Each structure stands twice: as C-alpha cells, then as structure tokens.
Amino acid sequence: MKQLNIKFLTLICVLFATTIVGAQTNLLLNGKADSKTEHWHPVETTVEEFNGDKVFVVRNDGHLQQYVQLTDEAFGKYALFIGRVSSERADVDGKPTPNTPYLYIYTLTPSAISEGQIMRDDAKGENDWHTIYAIHQLPKEGFTGSMKCFLYQRNSRKGQNIPNEGSAVRFDNLGLYLFDTEEDALKFAKAYK
C-alpha cells in the first residue's frame, strides 16, 4: 500500500511539473483585440468582427505595434512572437500573395530584427487562416530589455509595387513568449492554435 501511495504521488508530481513547464505567459497585452487597439499603436488599423471574433484588420500599408519591457531574466532567452493571420487576397497565379500579413520583433538596444514566417504554404484561398511566427534570441548582455512587436501588411512581390486597393489582412491570437531554447519555441509554435 505504501509503494502504491509513493507511485501515485510521484505521478502527481510529474504531471504537475509537466504542466508548469508547458505553461507560458503571454507578454503581449490585448493579443485578441478584445479591448480594440488598447495597448497597441495603430496606423490604418481597425478592430472588426470576423466569423464571430474580434480581430485586428490592417489596410492601406497600415501597421500595429506594441512595446514590451522585459526583465533581466529574459536576457539570452528565445522570444517567440506568434499569431494567426489571413488575407482577403488569394494566391491565384502560383506566386506569393501580395498584401500579405507579416510580423517582426525588434530589440531596440542593440538593434536587431526577426521577421515572421508562415509555418505552412502561403494561403491559397481568400481568408484562409495560418499561423506565423518569428523567433529571436535576445542578447545576453548590453540589452535594454525593450522590444517592439510589429504587425504590418506587405504590398510587394519581389520588388514589384502592387496596389493595395484597400484589401485587408487580419491578425488574431497574438502572443509573445520566452523560451530557454529555440527548439522549445518551435515546439510551442507548431502546436499553436
């Protein structure tokens, strides 16, 4: 009976530890547009209802940004900026869709940029939702701890300037998370919904 209790307690401890390791804190404020653009600096950005959810909508070369102040514990960690995106324009000619949603992470001092990448193939249909993310290793020293998370609409295709015509890109379920390793950040990104 005593061995059974010890095994049961060990199992509970393992499950508890696994839950804590898997748990992540979103460092972004208002990542789901529930409070409109509060905590964000919007340019040509609105919050609209789409399929029953509030989402950030960027048009006409607009963008959205949020500054995040990190603590000393963030130094040397991997920052994952992630979200769900869609575009009103579809890939109709086999080339990447113009007016594509992108995201960046900026560290301010020292200056560094990481661009978001679409995890799957480019969206093939109008309003298809995809996960995109950027991973950036934070400096181990000399870092002010300030970051900027930046969402925007790219209106070009390999040097071509393509008119926007007011089409929308949408962002939802945005998050900024810290990880000890790039592998942990990638695992989290692949499971993100």
pLDDT in tens, 55-64: 999 988 789 9
Please report the pLDDT score of residue 11 as a whole number: 37
**Could you tell me the CA-to-CA distances from 101 to 104, 117, 125, 131 in Å, in that order?**
11, 10, 14, 11
Q: Look at residue 8 and tell me if it is in a domain.
A: no
Establish if 90 belongs to a structural domain.
Answer: yes
Query: What CATH number corresponds to the domain at position 34?
Result: 2.60.120.260
Q: What's the mean per-residue pLDDT of the chain? A: 78
- Asked whether residue 3 is assigned to any structural domain, the reply reads no
* 56 found inside a domain: yes
Residue 106: predicted pLDDT: 80
Q: Which domain holds residue 53?
A: 26-190
Total count of domains within the chain: 1
Q: 189: phi > 0 → left, psi -120 to 50 → alpha, else beta; which?
A: alpha
Cα–Cα distances (Å) from 162 to 12, 46, 98, 153, 165, in that order, read 57, 22, 7, 12, 9
Please give the model's pTM, rounded to 2 decimal places. 0.78
